[in-house]
């Protein structure tokens, strides 16, 4: 006897607002919540550094994907990065609807040397990490705070798409090998968020299973894509980026019932399939 699967969002079915709807995460969220009435707003339709548009309809859930994501650029323009990540979150919270805020592994300093869980104390090393931590506070105690890491998808600018481009142009690429984290496919994250909104609000760590360095990730990308390009492993000091990154920022959840994402290699294969 067959039984239909219950809709995991049945208790919260209604109108879902997605900010930053044309970004890689916003695009994935629009797909994951397509069974609901989605109000998808791009930056052109709502620059979140400004108050909410006066003509917005009432919404039942806000997925706040709009964000400043240029980690090094935040060091050069902290005022704008703060206006987007912190001020933007305050403006979204003004809607008064249940809110999902997407935060980052970069709220941690990487010194723990073991997976970070929700009860670990943040200590961001960069302006970007500071703005994400402040955004968590701006979202309020009734929000779902989703800390995730190293996002990649089939649209936008991300590490996978950059490596595919460079690998097709060069025989060798230099990639840092002293930062370890969890590359997370936005398609898997978006599906996990559908499940998460049936859990209590609060801080949740949602990142792909497994972990690797950026160099190991690059090697996997080339291997899966069949690209003959060598990876030269370098240190963060050799790369010389403006912002400091945590050397170890693997995220895991200690909370009962936390959605579990597939391994990052599964996410990589799914992403490459979407890319054709």
Q: List Cβ neighbours of 201 (8 Å cut-off, separation of 6 or more).
A: 98, 141, 142, 143, 144
Of the residues 116, 128, 185, 248, only one is catalytic, namely: 128
What is the four-CA torsion angle of 103, 180, 28, 209, rounded to 10 degrees? Answer: -110
Q: Verify whether residue 248 is a known catalytic residue.
A: no
Angle between helices 264-274 and 159-169 (to 10 degrees): 60
Query: What is the C-alpha to C-alpha distance for residues 38 and 14, in angstroms, rounded to an integer?
Result: 9
State the burial class of residue 2 (Cβ atoms within 10 Å of its Cβ: 0-12, 13-18, 19+). Answer: exposed
What are the phi and psi torsion angles at 185 (to 5°)? -75, 125
**With DSSP H G I counted as helix, E B as strand and the rest as coil, what are the percentages for the chain, rounded to 5?**
35, 20, 45
* Half-sphere exposure at residue 216, Cβ-oriented, CA atoms within 13 angstroms: 13
Give the tokens for residue 255.
């909370």
Q: Any idea which residue has 């919540």 for tokens?
A: 33
Catalytic positions: 128
């Amino acid at each position: 006897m067959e039984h239909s699967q219950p809709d995991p969002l049945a208790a919260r079915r209604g109108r879902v607002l997605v900010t930053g709807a044309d970004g890689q995460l916003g695009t994935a969220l629009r797909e994951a919540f397509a069974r609901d009435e989605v109000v998808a707003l791009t930056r052109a339709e709502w620059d979140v550094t400004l108050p909410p548009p006066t003509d917005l309809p009432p919404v039942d859930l806000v997925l706040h994907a709009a964000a400043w994501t240029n980690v090094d650029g935040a060091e050069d323009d902290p005022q704008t990065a703060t206006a987007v990540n912190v001020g933007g979150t305050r403006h979204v919270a003004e809607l008064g609807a249940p809110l999902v805020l997407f935060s980052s592994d970069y709220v941690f300093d990487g010194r723990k040397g073991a997976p970070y869980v929700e009860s670990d104390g943040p200590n961001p090393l960069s302006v970007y990490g500071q703005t994400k931590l402040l955004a968590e506070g701006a979202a309020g105690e009734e929000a779902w705070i989703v800390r995730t890491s190293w996002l990649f998808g089939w649209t936008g600018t991300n590490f996978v798409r950059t490596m595919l481009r460079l690998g097709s142009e060069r025989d060798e690429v230099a990639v840092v090998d002293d930062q370890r984290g969890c590359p997370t496919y936005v398609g898997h994250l978006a599906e996990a968020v559908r499940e998460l909104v049936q859990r209590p609000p609060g801080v949740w760590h949602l990142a792909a299973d497994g972990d690797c360095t950026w160099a190991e990730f690059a090697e996997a990308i080339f291997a899966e894509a069949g690209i003959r390009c060598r990876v030269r492993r370098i240190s963060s000091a050799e790369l010389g980026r403006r912002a400091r990154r945590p050397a170890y920022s693997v995220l895991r959840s200690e909370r009962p019932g936390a959605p579990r994402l597939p391994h990052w290699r599964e996410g990589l294969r799914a992403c490459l399939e979407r890319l054709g």
